[in-house]
């Protein structure tokens, strides 16, 4: 399998703008740009969705959802660690306190 290519935000915006003009068929335009028709269709769909929501168009590598999942996983790990520390502290104080 080939290496993943990375396209700039400007390239994607220009490709979508050309596709929305409708001067050429999407397949022909994609071939001229050196991308697949599926990729151009996905970029068009993302641009359309961004017009109806505050989502950023072409934010870079990955998407906002991936960043959110990574943040939540880190927060979850931190909370688990805190929970373990508190359990150990409770056990220590329970041993020392007279009944």
Q: In this predicted model, what pLDDT tens digit does every residue of 8-47 receive, in sequence order? A: 888 888 898 899 888 889 899 999 999 999 999 999 988 8
Residue 9 and residue 57 share a domain: yes
Task: Tokens for 83, please give them.
Answer: 């929970």
- Kindly report the number of other CB atoms within 10 A of residue 4's CB atom: 6
Domain that holds residue 87: 65-99
Residue 43 and residue 8 share a domain: yes
Residue 70 and residue 56 share a domain: no
Q: What are phi and psi of 80, to 5 degrees?
A: -65, -45
pLDDT of residue 47: 86
- Are 44 and 69 within 8 A, CB to CB? no
Residue 19 and residue 38 share a domain: yes
pLDDT of residue 88: 94
Dist. CA 93–CA 86, nearest whole Å: 10
Nearest to 43 by CA among 20, 64, 69, 23: 20
Domains of the chain: total: 2
- Are 36 and 44 within 8 A, CB to CB? no
Q: In this predicted model, what pLDDT tens digit does every residue of 48-96 receive, in sequence order? A: 887 754 446 776 665 667 778 889 999 999 999 999 999 999 999 888 7
Dist. CA 19–CA 76, nearest whole Å: 43
């Amino acid at each position: 399998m080939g290496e993943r290519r990375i396209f700039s935000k400007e390239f994607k915006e220009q490709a979508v703008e050309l596709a929305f003009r409708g001067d050429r068929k999407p397949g022909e335009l994609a071939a001229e740009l050196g991308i697949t028709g599926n990729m151009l269709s996905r970029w068009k769909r993302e641009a359309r969705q961004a017009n109806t929501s505050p989502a950023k168009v072409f934010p870079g590598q990955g998407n906002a959802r991936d960043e959110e999942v990574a943040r939540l996983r880190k927060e979850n790990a931190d909370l688990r660690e805190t929970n373990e520390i508190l359990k150990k502290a409770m056990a220590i104080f329970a041993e020392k306190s007279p009944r």
